[in-house]
Structure 1
Amino acid sequence: MNRRRFLQQVAAPAALMLFANNALAQTTPQKTANTAKPNIVVMIADDLTYSDLGCWGNKDVKTPNLDRLAAQGMRLTSCYTTAPVCSPTRQALYTGLYPVRSGAYPNHAIVKPGVKSLPHYLKPLGYRVGLVGKQHYGPAENFPFEYPGQDGGAEDEENENAEKDLNYGAAEQFINRDKKQPYLLVVAAHEPHSPWNKGDASVYKPADLKLPPYLVDTPLTRRALSNYYGEVTYLDQQVGRVMDFVDKSGQADNTLFLFVSEQGSSLPHGKWTLYDVGIRSATIARWPAKIKAGSTSNALCQYIDFLPTFMEMGGGKADTNIDGRSILKVLTGESTKARDYVFAEETSRGIIAGPEAYGIRAVADDRWKYILNLNSDAEFMNTETRTPRFQSWVKKGETDAFAREQAQRYKVRPAVELYDLQNDPFEMKNIADQPDQKANLTRLRSALDGWMKQQGDEGVKTEMEAKEHQGSGQAKRRAGAGAGANRPNRQRANANAN
């Protein structure tokens, strides 16, 4: 599919503006004349592919609240995570640092001593800074969030439901607690992370679903997509709840509501990969006082850019020690450009059922994506490759060329991959070996090498050191942090965050 046609379909600007007019007429957030510092709500999904929302062009999945949010705000269509797994992604958002530089580059990892996060930057600007829901970061002293609804701070490690049931009542209370002091609240949902057992999957008849082009059509794939879509709709309902909390607070006009989808779903070619299905984020920003309703920006940006954006919103100065840069002017429509390149890394060492080492690095501009597989001689594997669903791909591949190709290219990849995102948005055709791409390969590789050097990323050597940032090393640091009031429960988060 031509990328221009693809973007026209997913953007659907006329439909969004029509939806905006209707939605705003019916459910316009209460506006105030408040000239104080803006409030900020950040709602994070868990393993949601960017294209699996109605407002991103998916005609199967039902996401009325996120569609409403998009109609009332701005969709950032070229926003990227820094990694395709939970822990590095979240810690990049909270610290403004790329994963290797912060130290949290494998999954289930913790940052280096001295790394600062949102509370360190926003509290001095007069903000209350809280978090409800999934944590998956550490150590505690680096993330001194307030944990609404938890008397002891973080979740109780012995509570089996602590990381599964988000306390939305606590979120509402935090929003309404003090109208005189600005706040930043992170609402970290647990959906739609597998095993996709929330929501009503019966709404999505497997036989009626249109599969995205990178998935192999088998009954197990269709059943998985049905269950996943059911949980996406469940997540959408929770987004609607939090939107209502803000809208009823009387401060909606002066509140940035930022939704981010995190990395893609765990279906093949999403999570754990640096394809766009894995690292492009469905990002929506609503701020009635500043952001034009129904607008879209294709400016390249990353999760590390949110922290400096929040700082600028709160009147703070830019911190030159972080990697992110403010995108406030993009949000307000004053600028159409934020970055020339976005970068990402995947460290498979230490993931559940993963290979001993399968490091991946990537760089992309507004058209081209360059992927470097550091250990391409190895076979990629994870929990997904062990599922009956993936094995149904392998079985079908015995007689079906496409199934065979998709199963094989998920597990065995060349050292270098290059994709034309305009004409191949789902990265189905590697063109790295085409003679006319030598200039692109050289330019992008130079940008990637420069970034890796700046980050202290030594490639394979850095990959082999990954376990020092997780596992027993993590436990040792946690023990050193003691049982303070803000001690995050990474044990429970890790159990649910493969």
Structure 2
Amino acid sequence: MPRVSAIRFALICFALLLPRYLDAADTKPNFVIIFADDQGYGDLGCFGSTKIKTPNIDRMAAEGRRFTNFMVASPVCTPSRAALLTGCYPKRVGMHQHVLFPASTKGLNPTEHTIADHLKAQGYATACFGKWHLGHHPETLPQQNGFDTYLGIPYSNDMNHPDNQGKPRVPSDELWKNQESAITLWNTPLMENEKIVELPVDQRTVTRRYTDRAVDFIKTNQDAPFFLYLPHSMPHIPLYVPADVYDPDPQNAYTCVIEHIDAEVGRVMDTIRELDLADNTYVIYTSDNGPWLQFKNHGGSAGPLRAGKGTTFEGGQRVPCVMWGPGRIPAGTECDELVGTIDLLPTIAAITESPLAKDRKIDGMDVSGLLTGTWDQTPREEYLYYTSRGAIEGLRKGKWKLLVKKKTPPRNRPNAKVPPPEILLFDLSQDIGEQTNLAAEKPELVASMRSRMEELDAEVTANAREPWRK
């Protein structure tokens, strides 16, 4: 080929391929958040479990980054979910006072700005498949909070439509042995968008059906940016699985459920890989709070952490987290810097180069540099701990954690003098299990941290926004 013709041919090829390269450069990344319910810090192979086999999530960790100091904003469901989606401490959005029930008359205010709202405004397809638990009234369901489509249960799987009455008083082992109890003893609804489509939902198959919809959603939107929120309703009790993975031994109930969730995570990941979406997709796997330890073989493990669900000890609020994004998140790495679910909204905004509106305050921070490994330190120096009822109880500042546990008079002596609070101070860099109380040795640090805790809580309280109310 003559030299001029060769140059001309090369220019023509470049002109034809340039739009494709420009499109690729302008393509917004996809986001998938998989949120387990009541899964403990020690319930994944990549976080130290020797009993539970989680090869798919372990592969995510091998190809991505483990976050070992990852916090949720409440030790129970509803407030934790509100924090994840809004980037706020639950008290700031009025969702801090324990969990919602079928008779509750409030929910997440649709005027709040969620991750789904933020991405939908950029042209993302958005979907939620799983447990919502931020209000079951039409005004508070996912479609009013930024999601195009929804399939899932509106509250916890141990709650009954319409008034939470008639719940079975049967030991967990017996429920596990009788898997048909999913439909004979419970009356938990399955909703599609704003309508109940199955009552009761067959909890044996619901984890898989959430995944079915998730896979279909990814395939349908593979050529456009998407946000998939997949909040599984398990391993919250009662525990159920499909017949083909069922282990009849109730001692293995929790293990069986987690391994089933892991397999379903594998289906989502396989879909992303098979559609060549891996290079443009972030996947985050974490849990809404720590394990429900009182249910023993139906609850999980906090690993080296103290206590579990419902407490402000690390076992209640430090959860396993794996983030995956080939080419953007370094493979096989670990981050021990302080990060929380409240940081996901501003981080996603930074990744998509779409600033958040300045008309409302949030508590999250952009930690995108920790995902990519370009930052050595977190911008988050402080973190507040609220009880499951929304009372301020602690402050994390660097390696130090202060808990001020107020006490109440005995029930039979309402006029008795209120005992002083229990003051606990831990150096988490040396004592992840919170076994050595250093409060007596460092009174000045206790005083300064307590003052700062009260100052930060006062700001949140003064600027708190109202939830939706019926």
Letter in 1 for 2:219: N
**Is 2:281 the counterpart of 1:255?**
yes
Letter in 1 for 2:428: L
Alpha-carbon distance, 1:234 to partner:
2.0
Partner of 2:165: none
**Is 2:272 the counterpart of 1:231?**
no
For residues 46-68 of structure 1, the C-alpha deviation after alignment (integer angstroms, 9 at most, x for no partner) is 10111221111222221111111
Counterparts of 1:228 and 1:430 in 2: how far apart (Å)? 32
Partner of 1:333: 373
**Does the CA contact (< 8 Å) of 1:125 and 1:314 recur in 2?**
no
Alpha-carbon distance, 1:444 to partner:
2.0
RMSD between superposed Cα atoms in Å: 3.0
Alpha-carbon distance, 1:456 to partner:
0.6
Alpha-carbon distance, 1:105 to partner:
0.6
Partner of 1:277: 315
**Does the CA contact (< 8 Å) of 1:264 and 1:278 recur in 2?**
yes
For residues 142-172 of structure 1, the C-alpha deviation after alignment (integer angstroms, 9 at most, x for no partner) is 5131225699514517521177714322111
**Is 2:64 the counterpart of 1:73?**
yes
Letter in 2 for 1:338: P
SS in 2 for 1:136: coil
**Is 2:305 the counterpart of 1:305?**
no
CA separation of 1:422 and 1:329: change in aligned 2, threshold 3 A: closer
Counterparts of 1:273 and 1:257 in 2: how far apart (Å)? 28
Equivalent residues in 2 for 1:271-420, closer than 5 Å: 271-320=309-358, 321-336=361-376, 337-348=378-389, 359=391, 361-377=393-409, 414-420=421-427
For residues 419-453 of structure 1, the C-alpha deviation after alignment (integer angstroms, 9 at most, x for no partner) is 23233322234343x2x221321232133112201
Partner of 2:269: 243
Alpha-carbon distance, 1:92 to partner:
0.8
Counterparts of 1:62 and 1:203 in 2: how far apart (Å)? 18
**Does the CA contact (< 8 Å) of 2:116 and 2:145 recur in 1?**
yes
2:147 to 121, 145, 148: 145
Partner of 1:160: 200
Structure 1 portions without partners, runs of 5+: 1-32, 205-222, 350-358, 380-411, 463-467, 478-498
Alpha-carbon distance, 1:348 to partner:
3.4
CA separation of 1:324 and 1:367: change in aligned 2, threshold 3 A: same
Counterparts of 1:258 and 1:196 in 2: how far apart (Å)? 23
- For normalisation by structure 1, the TM-score amounts to 0.68
**Does the CA contact (< 8 Å) of 2:151 and 2:192 recur in 1?**
no
Counterparts of 2:144 and 2:308 in 1: how far apart (Å)? 30
Letter in 1 for 2:458: K
Letter in 1 for 2:34: M
Alpha-carbon distance, 1:197 to partner:
4.1
Counterparts of 2:202 and 2:379 in 1: how far apart (Å)? 38
Structure 2 portions without partners, runs of 5+: 1-22, 101-105, 153-190, 295-306, 412-418
- State the aligned residue count: 370
**Is 2:444 the counterpart of 1:456?**
no
Partner of 1:10: none
- For normalisation by structure 2, the TM-score amounts to 0.72
Alpha-carbon distance, 1:187 to partner:
0.9
Counterparts of 1:113 and 1:149 in 2: how far apart (Å)? 18
2:212 to 163, 169, 172: 169
Counterparts of 2:96 and 2:403 in 1: how far apart (Å)? 17
Alpha-carbon distance, 1:253 to partner:
1.2
Counterparts of 1:450 and 1:163 in 2: how far apart (Å)? 44
Equivalent residues in 2 for 1:461-480, closer than 5 Å: 477=470
- Identity over aligned residues, as a percent? 29
**Is 2:463 the counterpart of 1:423?**
no
**Does the CA contact (< 8 Å) of 1:360 and 1:371 recur in 2?**
no
